[in-house]
Amino acid sequence: KSSSSSTASTSSSKSQSQSSQPIFQAGSGPTITIDENDLSEQIYAAAITRTLSWVAAAALFGIGLFLSVGPDTAEEFFAGYLVEQSLSIDNLFVFLLLFDYFDVPLQNQDRVLNYGIYGAIVMRAVMIGLGSVALSQFHGILLVFAGILIYSSANVILNLGGDDDGEEEEDMGENSIVKFSRNLFDSTNEFDGDRFFTMVNGVKKATPLFICLIAVEISDVVFAVDSIPAVFGVTENPLIVFTSNMFAIMGLRSLYTILSKAASDLEYLEPAVAVVLGFIGSKMVAEYFGIYIPTELSLGVVLTFLSGGVGLSIYSKNKKKLEQSQR
């Protein structure tokens, strides 16, 4: 993941300029105007503002549920939102690698992310609808969802002692998603501004920007295989499942900008997310067999492990800095 951080900084240095952003832009929320001077730092500061805006919006929505529907529904929303937000971080690491592989300029990354968000909203809505219907018709599908989560959790935890360098240095050219995306359209290796298609010798071809967008969309479908079952493990209420997903997705663009700088500082978040997935999967199995686990307990477990993962990552980073300064 540390290579992802250097990836983003490399992409930042390639940008030439960027026009001012509108007050409200899809997938971003309230923004501030960005000048060309110190572009990278100002983009980062604006991303923090946008992320906090979306977190505040989610909090207000949860409070609204508490007042209008009841505490149980609000607790389910907050638990689902936290799970979805944490899972989206793994998705964003893949975005970092894809932008680096396709050499997408910084000023064009927002366009890919925005279209990616539109596609994610549609695809998640369809998948949530299908999941809700499947659960209502055949409740045993809950065990399938639980199996997916427990497998994903065990896969991460059992590989913690492995060599991460090999994973970080994966050749994206050999990645199955990238290969599939390239085979879908006749494409060129040359960018044409922020266009998705361009004319080459009278033939219309897809630019690397469009191929990257396809890869981003397919990646989101792959990650939804974990994401959707996870939130169904928290609640089977379709409204809560959908809204928790939407609030997490709408903050993705600004979260990506922050993550591009902080990627190497979150080394313990992935194991924490894995433990949460394992807990939710186990909770689904228990509830299928009639053992009810209170939502308050689920929310507490999610909060404890996610905050613990972030806190331990920050502690580890500061400890390493202190050790280096003492040498």
Predicted confidence at residue 48, as pLDDT, reads 78
Each residue's pLDDT tens digit, 21-52: 443 344 444 333 334 445 566 767 777 788 88
Each residue's pLDDT tens digit, 276-295: 888 888 887 887 787 878 87
Q: For the residues 316-324, what does the mean pLDDT come to? A: 81
- Measured in degrees and rounded to the nearest 5, phi and psi for residue 245 equal -65, -45
40: nearest Cα among 65, 7, 64, 15: 15
- Share of residues in the chain with pLDDT > 90 (%): 5
Predicted confidence at residue 3, as pLDDT, reads 41
Q: Which residues contact 140 (CB under 8 A, 6 or more apart)?
A: 288
Each residue's pLDDT tens digit, 167-189: 444 555 566 777 777 777 787 88
Residue 8 has pLDDT above 70, yes or no: no
Predicted confidence at residue 61, as pLDDT, reads 94
Q: What is the largest CA-CA distance in the chain?
A: 66
Predicted confidence at residue 204, as pLDDT, reads 87
Residue 240 has pLDDT above 80, yes or no: yes
N-terminal to C-terminal alpha carbon distance within the chain: 25
Look at the alpha carbons of 231, 124, 7, 184 in this order and tell me if their dihedral is positive or negative.
positive
Task: State how beta strands 24-25 and 29-30 pair.
Answer: antiparallel
Predicted confidence at residue 129, as pLDDT, reads 83
Distance CA 224, CA 83 (A): 12
Q: For the residues 315-325, what does the mean pLDDT come to? A: 81
Q: Residues for the chain: how many in total?
A: 327
Q: What is the mean pLDDT of the chain?
A: 75
Q: Half-sphere exposure of residue 96, counting CA atoms within 13 Å on the CB side?
A: 30
- Fill in the DSSP letter of residue 15: -
- Measured in degrees and rounded to the nearest 5, phi and psi for residue 17 equal -160, 165
User: If pLDDT is split at 50, 70 and 90, which confidence band does 224 have?
Assistant: confident
Q: Which residues contact 213 (CB under 8 A, 6 or more apart)?
A: 112, 115, 116, 196
Each residue's pLDDT tens digit, 50-105: 888 888 999 999 999 999 998 888 988 998 888 888 777 667 777 777 887 888 88
Contact of 143 with 284, CB cutoff 8 Å: yes
Amino acid at 186: D
Each residue's pLDDT tens digit, 134-173: 877 887 777 887 888 888 888 888 877 654 444 444 555 5
- Measured in degrees and rounded to the nearest 5, phi and psi for residue 199 equal -100, 130
Amino acid at 68: S
In the chain, the DSSP E strands lie at: 24-25, 29-30, 197-200, 203-206
Distance CA 76, CA 237 (A): 9
- Measured in degrees and rounded to the nearest 5, phi and psi for residue 288 equal -60, -35
Contact of 183 with 260, CB cutoff 8 Å: no
Distance CA 151, CA 125 (A): 24
Q: Where are the alpha helices (DSSP H) in 138-207?
A: 141-158, 164-168, 176-184
How many angstroms separate the Cα of 209 from the Cα of each of 106, 126, 200, 228, 256?
Answer: 12, 26, 15, 28, 17
294: nearest Cα among 18, 128, 79, 98: 79
Give the pair of three-digit tokens for residue 194: 């922020």
Residue 316 has pLDDT above 50, yes or no: yes
Q: Which residue has the tokens 């508490």?
A: 66
3-state SS class at 6: helix
Predicted confidence at residue 108, as pLDDT, reads 81
Contact of 115 with 26, CB cutoff 8 Å: no
